[in-house]
């Protein structure tokens, strides 16, 4: 056996031997390559990007405090109450909720459509169940083993082997991988969520109605976008491991029937206090229906209709950074850079940590050839949203224009790893490597450029440089 293969296989077997852990929910031993401390660190590292992948935070301290008290009660009645926890409302119309060790969140779009406190407890209890059963750690363990398997294959084989990305709005980052669970994990999370809410005196049957609310909210959201579930990659991915509604409702009812004796407090729903608490966000959410319409027009490049919808939204609520930020992107598309900058600054005057507007300001300066200032704004964007691919690309191109090729390479490589078929990324990296004196890497990147986009300007440049460099390397 190849010595390298033997070493890798030995390391895997050792990992199997030393990395078994007791699952806090099932009590069974499981292979686990992620410790509890690592889980917590993963949660901490993912939060900044997850914050902006789901629209930033919705600010309402009274509402957040009220809901966080429920979250903490659920958390304290779970299997790992010693873990830290913080709750946020995400300012997006996408109906979703998620949890990682240390963090629990629900979106404005889903929260606003809920009918009572028990439904909120059911949804959040389900997400907490994923954390308590270590589903994220399980997923990362599987991914790690898959990568090790690929490494073995690579050794055995001895090494055999988007248009205008800058103006894409709202791209989803790689940390969403942490949010998708398999079918058995979803069932287990349902079972745990029902158990947690019953322990607190909520009517567990509201888990069924919570599921119905989620289904309806998803359908209404997609209808407003003029799409079906299958038309939206995120929505279809999010629901891909969920069974049909009637099947899932039957499963949840069976779980309720199997619960140990529980006592329902009051009516078990607490609708009145919940509806009072979410009154403001429900009103705001309806205004965001107009914003969603504007964003849909923007994606279809109907900028005048998008602006008209945004003006309506602003007339109803002038306190939302999202509205002014999208106006900035409309003006950027129209090459009206002073107006774009004005609207981005307006968004930042409302929320000084509003990442999308720092990114927008970076674009304003980049397109006006003010690359040094573009670098400054892109860095502010990246500090808030470390996984934002477009900011990595913009920062790389800004350094490229400043002829700071080593700095450019760092950010361009980050972008290239995620978007390897972008029509100019390999040519840009080729130029960077060539200027840094790494001719072998430059030739490789130029060849990749010719494979992906040989006929654009970067492709033609790559062909010319290969004609010069390739004979020299022979």
Please list the residues that pair with 173 across neighbouring strands. Answer: none
Residue 21 and residue 347: Cα distance in Å, rounded? 48
Taking only the tens place, the pLDDT of each residue in 284-318 is 999 999 999 999 999 999 999 999 999 999 999 99
Please give the pLDDT value at position 181: 78
Q: Residue ranges of the chain with pLDDT lower than 70?
A: 1-34, 137, 140-179, 229-246, 472-474
- Spatial neighbors of 206 by CB under 8 A, at least 6 apart, are 116, 118, 119, 121, 122, 197, 268, 269
Please give the pLDDT value at position 221: 93
- Spatial neighbors of 336 by CB under 8 A, at least 6 apart, are none
Neighbours of 402 (CB within 10 A): 14
Token pair 């790690």 in the structure block, residue:
144
Please give the pLDDT value at position 73: 97
Strand order, beta sheet including 85-90: 85-90, 102-107, 97-100
Please give the pLDDT value at position 133: 86
Exposure of 298 in the CB half-sphere (CA atoms within 13 A): 26
Please give the pLDDT value at position 41: 82
Burial class (CB in 10 A: 0-12, 13-18, 19+), 456: middle
Structure tokens at 178: 């942490």
Please list the residues that pair with 100 across neighbouring strands. Answer: 103
| 258: Cα separation from own chain's centroid | 35
- Region of 180 on the Ramachandran plot (φ > 0 left; ψ -120 to 50 alpha; else beta): beta
Please give the pLDDT value at position 311: 97
Neighbours of 10 (CB within 10 A): 10
CB of 433 within 8 A of CB of 445?
Answer: yes
3-class SS string, the chain:
CCHHHHHHHHHHHHHHHHCEEECCCCCCEEECCCCHHHHHHHHHHHHHHHHHHCCCECCCHHHHHHHHHHHHHHHHCCCCCCCCEEEEEECCCCCCEEEECEEEEEEHHHHCCCCCHHHHHHHHHHHHHHHHCCHHHHHHHHHHHHHHHHHHHHHHCCCCCCCCHHHCCCCCCHHHHHHCCCHHHHHHHHHHHHHHHHHCCCCCCHHHHHHHHHHHHHHHHHHHCCCCHHHCHHHHHHCCCCCCHHHHHHHHHHHHHCCCCCCCCCCCCCHHHHHHHCHHHHHHHHHHHHHHHHHHHHHCCCHHHHHHHHHHHHHHCCCCHHHHHHHHHHHHHCCCHHHHHHHHHHHHHHCCCCHHHHHHHHHHHHHCCCHHHHHHHHHHHHHHCCCCHHHHHHHHHHHHHCCCHHHHHHHHHHHHHHCCCCCCHHHHHHHHHHHCCCHHHHHHHHHHHHHHCCCCHHHHHHHHHHHHHHHHHC
Please give the pLDDT value at position 449: 97
Structure tokens at 335: 């090459």
Residue 19 and residue 13: Cα distance in Å, rounded? 10
CB of 306 within 8 A of CB of 330?
Answer: yes
Burial class (CB in 10 A: 0-12, 13-18, 19+), 375: buried
Please list the residues that pair with 30 across neighbouring strands. Answer: 21
Please give the pLDDT value at position 44: 84
Return the closest-CA partner of residue 53 out of 204, 236, 179: 179
């Amino acid at each position: 056996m190849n010595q390298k293969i033997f070493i890798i296989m030995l390391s895997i077997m050792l990992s199997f031997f030393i990395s078994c852990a007791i699952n806090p929910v099932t009590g069974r031993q499981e292979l686990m390559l992620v410790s509890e401390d690592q889980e917590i660190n993963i949660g901490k590292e993912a939060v900044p990007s997850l914050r902006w992948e789901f629209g930033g935070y919705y600010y309402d301290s009274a509402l957040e405090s009220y809901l966080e008290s429920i979250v903490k009660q659920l958390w304290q009645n779970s299997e790992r109450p010693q873990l830290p926890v913080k709750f946020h409302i995400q300012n997006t119309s996408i109906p979703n909720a998620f949890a990682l060790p240390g963090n629990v969140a629900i979106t404005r779009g889903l929260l606003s459509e809920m009918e009572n406190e028990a439904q909120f407890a059911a949804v959040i209890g389900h997400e907490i169940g994923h954390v308590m059963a270590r589903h994220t750690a399980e997923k990362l363990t599987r991914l790690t083993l898959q990568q090790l398997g690929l490494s073995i294959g690579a050794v055995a084989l001895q090494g055999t082997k988007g248009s205008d990305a800058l103006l894409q709005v709202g791209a989803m980052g790689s940390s969403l991988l942490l949010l998708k669970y398999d079918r058995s994990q979803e069932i287990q999370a349902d079972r745990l969520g029902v158990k947690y809410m019953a322990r607190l005196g909520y009517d567990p049957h509201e888990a069924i109605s919570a599921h119905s609310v989620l289904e309806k909210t998803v359908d209404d959201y997609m209808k407003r976008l003029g799409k079906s579930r299958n038309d939206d990659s995120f929505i279809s991915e999010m629901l891909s491991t969920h069974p049909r509604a009637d099947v899932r409702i039957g499963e949840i009812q069976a779980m309720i029937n199997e619960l140990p004796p529980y006592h329902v407090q009051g009516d078990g729903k607490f609708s009145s206090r919940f509806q009072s608490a979410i009154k403001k966000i429900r009103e705001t959410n309806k205004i965001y229906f107009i914003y969603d319409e504007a964003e849909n027009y923007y994606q279809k490049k109907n900028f005048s209709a998008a602006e008209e919808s945004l003006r309506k939204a602003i007339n109803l609520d002038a306190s939302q950074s999202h509205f002014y930020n999208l106006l900035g992107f409309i003006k950027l598309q129209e090459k009206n850079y002073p107006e774009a900058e004005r609207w981005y600054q307006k968004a930042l005057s409302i929320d000084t940590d509003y990442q999308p507007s720092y990114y927008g300001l970076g674009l304003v300066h980049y397109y006006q050839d003010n690359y040094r200032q573009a670098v400054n704004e892109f860095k502010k964007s990246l500090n808030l949203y470390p996984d934002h691919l477009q900011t990595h690309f913009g920062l790389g191109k800004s350094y490229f224009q400043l002829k700071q090729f080593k700095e450019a390479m760092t950010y361009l490589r980050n972008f290239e790893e995620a978007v390897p078929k972008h029509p100019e990324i390999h040519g840009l990296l080729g130029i960077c490597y060539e200027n840094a004196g790494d001719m072998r890497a430059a030739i490789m990147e130029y060849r990749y450029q010719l494979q992906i986009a040989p006929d654009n300007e970067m492709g033609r440049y790559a062909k010319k440089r290969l004609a010069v460099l390739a004979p020299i390397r022979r």
